Structure formats: structure tokens, C-alpha cells
Amino acid sequence: MAIHGTFQKLRPLSLLANLCSSYDSVCLKVTSNTVTWFIYVKQGKILYVSHTVDPCDRLDCYLRRFSYHTATLNSEIRSQLRLRFDNASELHPEYQAICWLVDNQYLNQNQAAALIEYLVKEVIESFLLIQEGSYELDEKYDVLPAEFCQLDLQSIVKHCQPRIKSWQSLAPQLWSPYQRPYLNNQPNIKEQLTPETQHKLSSILKGFSIRHLAVLLNQDELQLAQSLYPYIKMGSIILHEPQPPFEQLPRTYKPPVESQPAVQLASPVRVENKPSTTHNINKNINSDNKQTTSLTKATPNNQLPEITQRNNKPIEKFVVAPSKAIERSAKPLEKIITSHTKKAAYKIVCIDDSQAMLRELDHFLDDESFDVFTINDPVKALMQVVRIKPDLILLDIKMAKIDGYELCRLLRNHSLFKSTPIIMVTGSTGIIDRVKARFVGASGYLTKPFTQSELFKIIFRHLS
């Protein structure tokens, strides 16, 4: 039986608590601002939680973090997942991808459970910010393909609530982990920073969102935001809005409307294993919980993050965002060592028979992190690429003399380029093209038109 309803004011904690205590097995679907959240509950425990905003990107971020602790999750495997499951027609393609990783022994059961727990915490964090929308309770939902863990609601909420409060303490400048920080290049603003600080900031602020930048630096995103916050307040860093589709997610802060108080988090709800009725659930969905917690403004530190180096800790013990990490101060600025400052410029080869496209790529990659080589004759490309020995290749698919798929196959057959990232660039979004790209050994897929930040994102996903 499915139960439907709408709400103008939602108390997500009350809804979750009653959901876990009232149903043996149920799926809650909540839709707000074009985003749908799915919460799967069994015997009072959470099996999985997801939302519809780029779930494969969410998985890729955590797999990248996990790759610091296990060699099996290398960039080649992560690229395979993106080509295989990104834009898949199935519900929750990221969960299908986790099952595939387990079936092919890239992850064991404990590692999959740990991965799912991190994904659930992130999605619940956004779910707790919902204020209005519609919901559906379905007791006869399609069963998940596999069950890896059963998570306790109270411990998840205990993890998420302090993080939301910490994000809210950075308002009004910061209201989403998907905001994109840029260095302010106005002369009078730049003079406030030492040349060393300017260089270190410019080496990491490439148009990535705070969340994606934190993944590249292997840092907790909240701690990174707290480290950048003083530079944001003084105007040295300017923030751009999230790129689609991430702008659809709820904000951690909204300016208070006149005659209405600012939204605050409710106090943690204790989950009791007592029977409840559907009537009580509907009542609690629209009820107001008067117990609120005041939001105190945390004092941000004024230090930039340090990149965490690879270590040999077992993946089961890897914690992406422990609560203690939020309380620790960031590393001193002078100890920052970024991959961009440690390594000479990455060599990027762009192969396209369109001079206009090559000029555009060269313009986008006009950055000290890259040495760009453009090739407009695909027939001669293989010989030139062998001479350059690039770190990454951007390869157009539709070219007159030889198409990108064939050239990609030839490159992969060469011993020098067995593991070199090859990104296919095309104007097509069809699934057939993605299958072809995977078949010839491509590492990724970039669809035209694209922005500079989207280009940087896919490049650093394969290089950093």
C-alpha cells in the first residue's frame, strides 16, 4: 500500500523517527524542488538513502577517497564505472555500481558497507534541510539488488546535525558545499595577500565546488570551507553559485523572511521501537517540534588545508568526515603542499580536426598547471603523441580522416599508453557512443558544450 501526501512545513527528524519505528519494511520518497530523496528502511534500520542529483558523481567522490587506501579502486576502474553506469536508466545507478564492484571483487562486503554508510550520511544531511514538498510511503517497493548494512538512524543524525550547524555558522557567505570559490584578481584585493598565499590559493581554486575541491585535496569539505572562510570574508575569495544540477539541493542557509524566524534545526529525535499508526505518521509530518537548538557562530580558522598523503590504513577504518576532524584547526599555511606545486605542469594533448575547437581548449587550459599540445591532423597524431608522452589526452570522436574511436584503440594498443587517461570529446549524449568509448578503452566522456570548470573537473579526476 502506498500513502501519498504534501507538506508545507516538514520536520525531517520526526518523519525519519516515525518511519523507523512504525514500519517493518518501507521506502519513503520525498520530492522537493525537482529533487527526490529515497529512504529504504527495514526492521527499524536504514538500508540505503539516495537522491536524484548526480548520484554517480557522489559515488565517484567517495571512491576517489577510498582509492587512497586500496589499489583496486584506481582511476581506470572508476572510469569504467562512470562509462558503464552514468546516465543509466536503472533507479540508483550508484548502488548498481557498488554491487558490480563487489561482484568483481574490487570491494569486499565490509568495504561496501562502509562506503554506503558515508553515502547515506551525506544524503541525510541534505534531507534534514528540506522544508516543503511531497512524499510517498511505499511498503511494496522494489527490493534493492543486495543488502550490505543496516544503519542506526540515531547515530546518523548525531553525525549530521553538528555538521549542519557548522555550515550554518558560515552564513550568509557560505550556504552550499557546491559553491565554487575563485581567487579575486582585483589589484586592491590581491594586495591583501602575500605572493606565497596568492600562489597557493590560485593553485587549488580552479572553479571546482568546495565539495569537489575537498575530494581532490583529500580533505573534509567542512574543514576546507572553514579554512577558506576568512579569505571569503575579506573578499580575497569570491564564491560563484553551484553549477547545475547541484543548485537544486537545499541550502544550509536562507535569508530570514520578514515576520518569519530563520530556520533552525530541531533537537535530535530519539528513535523508540514502539508501534505507531499511519495516522500518527501523517500527524507528525506536519507537526511543529518546539524543541530547537540555538545556532552559535563558530570562529573559523585562517589557515589553508594540507593535502593528505596516501597511507596504508585499512579501508574499513577510513573515515571521510569524523566529527573530531571538524573541531581540529587546519594545517598551517606554510605546510600546504598541493599536487600542483609538487609536480611540474601536466602535459595535455588535444586532438581535433577543428582549429576552432583546439583554440577553445587551449584557451580553457591556459593555466600554470598545464602544458598544452594541440594536434589537428589525426592521421599523424599517434607519432606526435608518442614523442610528447602526455599525462592525459583529449580526443574528439568525429574527425574526417580517422574517427576518435579508432585512434583511441590504436593508442591503447601502444605500450606507452596502456594506462594514460583518454577523454573522448563529443557533441553526442547517446548511450551507444558511451558503449563504444568503453569498448575501445576510453577513460572518460566529455559532452559539448562544456564549461572550463567541467573540463578542469574531468581532467583532475583522472590526474590528481
The one-digit pLDDT tens for each residue of the chain (464 residues) are 566 656 667 688 888 888 888 888 899 999 998 999 999 999 999 999 999 999 999 999 999 999 888 888 888 888 888 888 876 677 899 999 999 999 999 999 999 999 999 999 999 999 999 988 888 888 877 778 899 999 999 999 999 999 999 999 999 999 999 999 999 988 888 888 888 888 888 888 888 899 999 998 888 999 999 999 999 999 999 999 998 899 999 999 987 655 444 434 434 334 333 333 333 333 333 333 333 222 223 333 444 444 333 343 433 333 334 334 333 434 444 443 344 445 568 899 999 999 999 999 999 998 877 899 999 999 999 999 999 999 999 999 999 888 899 999 999 999 999 989 999 998 876 677 778 888 899 998 898 888 888 898 888 888 86
Evaluate whether 409 touches 424 at the Cβ level (below 8 Å).
no
pTM of the model: 0.77
Q: E strands within 231-361?
A: 237-240, 346-351
Q: Where in the chain is the domain with CATH 3.40.50.2300?
A: 343-463
DSSP 317: G
User: 331-362 burial by CB neighbour count: b if 16+ within 10 A, else e?
Assistant: bebeebebbbeeeeebebbbbbbeeebbebbe
Answer for the pair 421, 76: CB distance below 8 angstroms, yes or no. no
DSSP string, 31-47: EETTEEEEEEEETTEEE
CB 14 within 8 A of CB 269: yes
Give the number of C-alpha atoms closer than 13 A to the C-alpha of residue 105, restricted to the C-beta side.
0
One-letter amino acid of 429: T
Burial of residue 447, with CB atoms counted within 10 A of its CB: 0-12 exposed, 13-18 middle, 19 or more buried: middle
Whole-angstrom distance, CA of residue 20 vs CA of residue 33: 25
> Class assignment of domain 343-463?
alpha beta
> Which 3 state secondary structure label does DSSP give 374?
strand
